[in-house]
Amino acid sequence: MARPKEFDRDEVVKRAMAVFWEKGYEATSTEDLLRAMGIGRQSMYDTFGDKRRLYLEALQRYQAESGAQLIERLQAEQSPLLAIEQVLMAVAAETPAERARGCMYVSSIVELAQKDPEVASLARSGTILCETAFERIVREGKRKGEIAPCVDERKAGRFLLATVQGLRVMAKAGSTPETLRDIAAVALTSLKAR
């Protein structure tokens, strides 16, 4: 350990994440990355190995952050059903730029899960994480009587994750916030106690 790195590893991964998130994997050049990260070529290769490894690290970070945010949001409200509603409506409430950027997790699945086993593996673990988070809150909602007893919480959890991903694709396809809210509203009717 002679000379310390002049950059903060965490910070540069974050910046790389932003670029990959915005442009996708293939469409991002190493030049793009270096410019955004503010480090030299060799520093990047020494620290992360290659472009793919950097991407995987950025993706892992994205998943960890957005997974944590999901769990947080789901517990932020007193009412489980309201919390779920907030999460679904959050996509509609984003700025146009955010809606166009979409979700890096979805993008990684669509672009890479088929050809990169490590991305596929991250996709599966991310899926389980989110499904489980939704499942827990659905169980909680049933307990509180907000969600119909006949709803299977495991199935509903999976359904809610699929709904979020559907919303993200629709958002990227240019659907208006109103349309996205409509979708979220219909999705919620499958849970509500009547």
Partner DNA sequence: CACATTCTGGACTGGTCTGTCAAGCATCGG
Partner DNA sequence: CCGATGCTTGACAGACCAGTCCAGAATGTG
46 versus 72: smaller Cβ distance to DNA: 46
22 versus 47: smaller Cβ distance to a copy of itself: 22
Q: Which does 7 bind (CB under 5 to 8 A by kind): DNA, a copy of itself, none?
A: DNA
What are the residue ranges of helices labelled H in 24-50?
A: 30-37, 41-48
Q: Which does 76 bind (CB under 5 to 8 A by kind): a copy of itself, DNA, none?
A: none
Question: Residue 192 pairs with which residues in a beta bridge?
Answer: 147
Contact present, 25 and 122 (Cβ < 8 Å): no
Cα–Cα distance between 78 and 74 in angstroms, integer?
A: 9
Contact present, 56 and 155 (Cβ < 8 Å): no
Q: Which does 42 bind (CB under 5 to 8 A by kind): DNA, a copy of itself, none?
A: DNA
Cα–Cα distance between 192 and 194 in angstroms, integer?
A: 6
Q: Which of 46, 65, 152, 182 binds DNA (CB under 7 A)?
A: 46
Q: Smallest distance, Å, CB 33 to DNA?
A: 8
Cα–Cα distance between 75 and 133 in angstroms, integer?
A: 10
Q: Which of 20, 51, 74, 80 binds DNA (CB under 7 A)?
A: 51
Structure tokens at 41: 């070529």
Contact present, 65 and 154 (Cβ < 8 Å): no
Q: Which does 65 bind (CB under 5 to 8 A by kind): DNA, a copy of itself, none?
A: none
Q: Smallest distance, Å, CB 44 to DNA?
A: 8
Residues contacting residue 15 through CB under 8 Å, at least 6 positions apart? 36, 37, 38
86 versus 175: smaller Cβ distance to a copy of itself: 175
Cα–Cα distance between 161 and 8 in angstroms, integer?
A: 34
Q: Smallest distance, Å, CB 51 to DNA?
A: 4
Binding site for a copy of itself (CB under 8 A): 23-24, 26-27, 100-102, 106-107, 109-111, 113-115, 120, 123-124, 126-127, 151-152, 154-156, 158-159, 161-167, 169-170, 172-175, 179, 182-183, 185-187, 189-190
Residues that bind DNA (CB under 7 A): 1-7, 28-31, 39-43, 45-46, 50-52
